[in-house]
Amino acid sequence: MRVLGVDPGLTRCGIGVIEGEPGRQLRLVATDVIRTPAGDDIGARLLALEVAFDDWLARHRPDAVAVERVFSQHNVRTVMGTAQAGAVAIVCAARHGVPVALHTPSEVKAAVTGSGRADKQQVTEMVTRLLRLPDRPRPADCADALALAICHLWRGAAQQRLAAAARLVTAQRQVTAQRQVTAQRQVTAQLLSTPQRATGGST
């Protein structure tokens, strides 16, 4: 499975692609930071992100895209820019027919380090170990994007197994219900086809 992770941002947007399966060694495919000048018009900056996202999706053909879920912070202006960048990534993925998942920072930290309260350094260290990289991904935006991809690869696979199990249970219940209906119909048909004997004495 190949996952593209996006750590959204207007000035710096981390992006990274990994591939692998749960329980197996993960492999880094590519990672980088997409930058847009802070002095440029917002429309031009979002368009630049769109072009970059489209390029990454076309070149690496991921099976899924993982984007950080944005929460309100003290700096509303930063939150708006982050949300806008994330929305562009989601739209681009939809255009390419790639499913998108949103993960909170605590979900990512818990998936990668085992603690939802881990700091950035701990996340970076675990990403480096899990991908067996010779050096830490730099800047930190790259590590965050890769952590998102790792989180989704592990959580997504687990969710898929749960969904598959749920579908199997539903299918089994449907088969059982259909058999019960068929059996009831057979019993009813037999009762209707059996001739009824007249009862009563002679007068």
Written as one string, the DSSP assignment of 54-93 is HHHHHHH--SEEEEEPP---S-HHHHHHHHHHHHHHHHHH
Q: Catalytic: 68?
A: yes
Catalytic residue, from 32, 40, 135, 141: name it. 141
Q: Which residues contact 19 (CB under 8 A, 6 or more apart)?
A: 1, 2, 3, 26, 27, 29
Q: Would you call 19 a catalytic residue per the annotation? A: no
107 is catalytic: no
Contact 113, 77 (CB under 8 A): no
Catalytic residue among 7, 19, 41, 54: 7
Q: Which of 68, 107, 119, 135 is catalytic?
A: 68
* Residues recognised as catalytic: 7, 68, 141
